[in-house]
A and B are shown apart, each in its own frame.
Chain A
């Protein structure tokens, strides 16, 4: 399996999804070799980080079945090419441990795209030395690596099937203004793949429409969440004074933070006591913060940078409603995290998760009026709120990764029989 981030070193939902899926697969008895770009430190340091990544599950059975392979790289799923260059120089300056030579030394790429290439060269070595039956790649940055691995396997006389797993497309990330280069990599990966997994019907339709993929080879595996009883019992005093509506996600165009602000403005006009908490960072952070002040609700929108671990659960628990305002969300795991914390959710119809959830409210992301009405109906109606909260919690317990892993294994079996 080729991935590019894994908790705790993840910047978004992809790492979480990879963790959930691999855990589920391990429980089904699948042996996984997970190739991961790394971010910090020397190799010894990485073993520590690997270990801490492994520590997520103490069951030995699972531990044995997942092995990690780390490639020196600073790939992150949500980096643009200029952002990658910035990140690289930041790491250069901040850690003396790793020295990244110039691009001229041909070891490390100088920008995001040559980095992808480098990642695929490493994949070649791994593909030469390791044994594997299926190549499973998560999103576009890993596709060249997966394709390389398949070619190497062919050289070794094996017809190893390639599965490309689409967690998000360039169309989702850019709100319909794709980068041609990235689009080309995505398209090539999907066309060369024996099967394509999408995280939703919604994404399946996008790749049929925009990438011309044969519907016959698309297989849907919805994301899920492994339920854990939250240990947080904190009482938030702010709730004695205010109802709280939460946004949690990267501050990028895909997540619709600007739409959230418009909804906040409308709600404020009706109910002045509501407060809006926006958690996350991204290239739109400053713009959104300034916009909240411009809209005259600067005192009603409270911001927080990207949160980690328990603080994410605390944010959900602080909220009376979680709103996912994404303009295009292939799946969208955050509503499940909110429901796990007994927080009712209002979600954009332009999402994969809306295909499987029952105990939630679903609205077109652009319909500010309807969003407002639905959110207020929860805030102003405690019985409805409690109903959504309780039923949502029950529902989310059933949406575990075993279900998704089962489907994935089904596909593996099917593919292996063919090849």
Chain B
């Protein structure tokens, strides 16, 4: 028996303006509303709407045998509500089928866990409330931002009531073990750990349109044979990827939608295969082993560590100076201040400042809202200066 478990990440940050030295003290419109609306609408047109239609269609066609899960950040949901409510409605329709699971995460797609566990818990709670408000849904499985994971995070998530957690199936952690089984997290009582099969996931997410790749062109039946090959030495295949893979990272003309349209049928041709959501995986299988991850692992770049966001001093300075303000921001009881401070925690801001221009750097460059990493650092520092000035003027409640 092999269960294919899809999880798609849906996220868009609030990108900053090029906030200059002359803007400091003048206005607090840190975020580029026009650009954010434009990008959200573009990605909705190219990816979210057509992909949601396709998934809904596949669920109906397979009589609910096809199942997927999503993790939607609070900030992308806010932007759907503000800029394009149709997208939100289409996600709601998907959830209503009962074949779609939603995962919990930090509302602001942040690395709060690394800097403030208090803030981390608050953001998870905010996300939980958002899931309830928009979808009437209570997630059982937790995924931390960028799949940043270690034992401690599993422990915290378990204490907050989650039964499962998602992480990268990084080779240097797994060693000889396979990501194609359910594991238990070390330190936690009974926290189940689902590990991403990064080879098969990246075949779709990154290599799909790569003509130099031996697997190109990737067809649904070819991919199904790779899935079938796991039969007998694994029981889950976790395909975790950005939802924007469909239509945005891999453009429509690469055939990505067509691939997906045929994939469920091809996989279901083998009666030993099925689709499961993370919760169903937890309910169906027993952990085969305990995985000990002391060091932080993430799903980014070849290093699978924090270096995409925290490798140079521009990044570390910006983020640590930001979290230094937590106490003051919260004591000000100023909702706008708090919201701005939290929007600045979104990992994308630090990703833009990344200077490792090697293999992964190309990807960084593609996703960078600024010309240079240094420009985004400059804008961030200016915004932070303004934010601190607002804080100094704000009353302090204890």
Residues of A within 8 A of B (CB): 236-238, 240-242, 275, 277, 279, 285-286, 289-290, 293-294, 296, 298-299, 301-304, 311, 314-315, 318
In the bound complex, residues from chain B placing their C-beta under 8 Å from that of A275 are 385
In the bound complex, residues from chain B placing their C-beta under 8 Å from that of A303 are 21, 374, 378, 381
Q: Closest CB of chain B to A66's CB: distance in Å?
A: 34
Given contacts A237-B24, A277-B21, A286-B372, 20 further A-B contacts (CB under 8 A): A236-B25, A237-B389, A285-B374, A289-B378, A290-B312, A290-B374, A293-B312, A293-B314, A293-B318, A294-B313, A298-B313, A298-B321, A299-B318, A299-B381, A299-B384, A299-B385, A302-B21, A302-B381, A311-B22, A314-B22
In the bound complex, residues from chain A placing their C-beta under 8 Å from that of B233 are none
Query: A289 to B315, alpha carbons, bound, how many Å?
Result: 12
Query: A6 to B317, alpha carbons, bound, how many Å?
Result: 40
Contact between chains at B25 and A237 (CB < 8 Å): yes
In the bound complex, residues from chain B placing their C-beta under 8 Å from that of A277 are 21
Let me know if B377 is at the binding interface, CB within 8 A.
Answer: yes
Closest A residue to B316 by beta carbon equals A293
Of A238, A279, A298, A299, the contact of B24 (CB 8 Å cutoff): A238
Contact between chains at B318 and A298 (CB < 8 Å): yes
In the bound complex, residues from chain A placing their C-beta under 8 Å from that of B318 are 293, 298-299
Query: A315 to B22, alpha carbons, bound, how many Å?
Result: 8
Chain B 14-35 interface 0/1 with A at a Cβ cutoff of 8 Å (1 = within): 0000001110111000000000
Contact between chains at B378 and A298 (CB < 8 Å): no
In the bound complex, residues from chain A placing their C-beta under 8 Å from that of B25 are 236-238, 240-241
In the bound complex, residues from chain A placing their C-beta under 8 Å from that of B92 are none
Name the interface size band of chain B: 20 to 34
Query: A293 to B321, alpha carbons, bound, how many Å?
Result: 11
Contact between chains at B317 and A318 (CB < 8 Å): no
Contact between chains at A238 and B312 (CB < 8 Å): no
Query: A275 to B316, alpha carbons, bound, how many Å?
Result: 19
Let me know if B382 is at the binding interface, CB within 8 A.
Answer: yes
Q: What are 26 pairs between A and B in contact, CB < 8 Å?
A: A237-B25, A237-B26, A237-B389, A238-B24, A240-B389, A241-B388, A241-B389, A275-B385, A286-B372, A286-B374, A290-B312, A290-B314, A293-B312, A293-B377, A294-B313, A298-B318, A298-B377, A299-B318, A299-B381, A299-B385, A302-B385, A303-B374, A303-B378, A304-B20, A304-B21, A311-B22
Query: A237 to B24, alpha carbons, bound, how many Å?
Result: 8
Q: Which of B333-389 contact A (CB under 8 A)?
A: 355, 372, 374, 377-378, 381-382, 384-385, 388-389
Q: Closest CB of chain A to B94's CB: distance in Å?
A: 43
Chain B 95-130 interface 0/1 with A at a Cβ cutoff of 8 Å (1 = within): 000000000000000000000000000000000000
The 10 closest A-B pairs by CB, nearest first: A237-B25, A298-B317, A293-B313, A293-B317, A299-B321, A293-B314, A289-B374, A303-B378, A238-B25, A294-B313
In the bound complex, residues from chain B placing their C-beta under 8 Å from that of A294 are 313
Query: A179 to B339, alpha carbons, bound, how many Å?
Result: 54
Query: A279 to B381, alpha carbons, bound, how many Å?
Result: 14
Specify which of B318, B382, B385 lies most central, judged by the most chain A CB atoms within 10 Å of its CB. B385
Query: A237 to B390, alpha carbons, bound, how many Å?
Result: 11
In the bound complex, residues from chain B placing their C-beta under 8 Å from that of A290 are 312-314, 355, 374
Query: A293 to B382, alpha carbons, bound, how many Å?
Result: 14
Let me know if B225 is at the binding interface, CB within 8 A.
Answer: no
In the bound complex, residues from chain B placing their C-beta under 8 Å from that of A237 are 24-26, 389
In the bound complex, residues from chain A placing their C-beta under 8 Å from that of B384 are 299
Contact between chains at B317 and A315 (CB < 8 Å): no
Query: A366 to B304, alpha carbons, bound, how many Å?
Result: 44
Q: Closest CB of chain A to B222's CB: distance in Å?
A: 41
In the bound complex, residues from chain A placing their C-beta under 8 Å from that of B389 are 237-238, 240-241
In the bound complex, residues from chain A placing their C-beta under 8 Å from that of B313 are 290, 293-294, 298
Let me know if B392 is at the binding interface, CB within 8 A.
Answer: yes
Q: Closest CB of chain B to A207's CB: distance in Å?
A: 37
Query: A68 to B311, alpha carbons, bound, how many Å?
Result: 52
Q: Closest CB of chain A to B87's CB: distance in Å?
A: 36
Q: Closest CB of chain A to B49's CB: distance in Å?
A: 36
In the bound complex, residues from chain B placing their C-beta under 8 Å from that of A311 are 22
Query: A290 to B353, alpha carbons, bound, how many Å?
Result: 10
Closest A residue to B355 by beta carbon equals A290
In the bound complex, residues from chain B placing their C-beta under 8 Å from that of A240 are 25, 389
Of A236, A298, A302, the contact of B314 (CB 8 Å cutoff): A298
In the bound complex, residues from chain A placing their C-beta under 8 Å from that of B392 are 241
In the bound complex, residues from chain B placing their C-beta under 8 Å from that of A236 are 25
Contact between chains at A302 and B317 (CB < 8 Å): no
In the bound complex, residues from chain A placing their C-beta under 8 Å from that of B24 are 237-238, 302
Query: A74 to B321, alpha carbons, bound, how many Å?
Result: 43
Q: Closest CB of chain B to A186's CB: distance in Å?
A: 33
Query: A314 to B25, alpha carbons, bound, how many Å?
Result: 14
Of A285, A286, A315, the contact of B21 (CB 8 Å cutoff): A315
Query: A338 to B388, alpha carbons, bound, how many Å?
Result: 28
Contact between chains at B382 and A302 (CB < 8 Å): yes
Query: A314 to B378, alpha carbons, bound, how many Å?
Result: 19
Closest A residue to B26 by beta carbon equals A237
Closest A residue to B313 by beta carbon equals A293
Query: A294 to B377, alpha carbons, bound, how many Å?
Result: 13
Do A296 and B317 form a contact, CB below 8 Å, given A237-B389, A289-B378, A302-B385? yes
Q: Closest CB of chain A to B147's CB: distance in Å?
A: 27
Contact between chains at B378 and A299 (CB < 8 Å): no
Do A318 and B21 form a contact, CB below 8 Å, given A289-B374, A299-B385, A302-B381? yes
Closest B residue to A237 by beta carbon equals B25
Closest A residue to B374 by beta carbon equals A289
Chain B 304-329 interface 0/1 with A at a Cβ cutoff of 8 Å (1 = within): 00000000111011100100000000
Closest B residue to A299 by beta carbon equals B321
Query: A277 to B21, alpha carbons, bound, how many Å?
Result: 8
Query: A145 to B374, alpha carbons, bound, how many Å?
Result: 40
Contact between chains at A289 and B377 (CB < 8 Å): yes
Q: Closest CB of chain A to B89's CB: distance in Å?
A: 42
Q: Which of B194-216 contact A (CB under 8 A)?
A: none
Q: Closest CB of chain B to A183's CB: distance in Å?
A: 33
Query: A318 to B21, alpha carbons, bound, how many Å?
Result: 10
Query: A294 to B315, alpha carbons, bound, how many Å?
Result: 10
In the bound complex, residues from chain A placing their C-beta under 8 Å from that of B21 are 277, 279, 302-304, 315, 318
Q: Closest CB of chain B to A292's CB: distance in Å?
A: 8
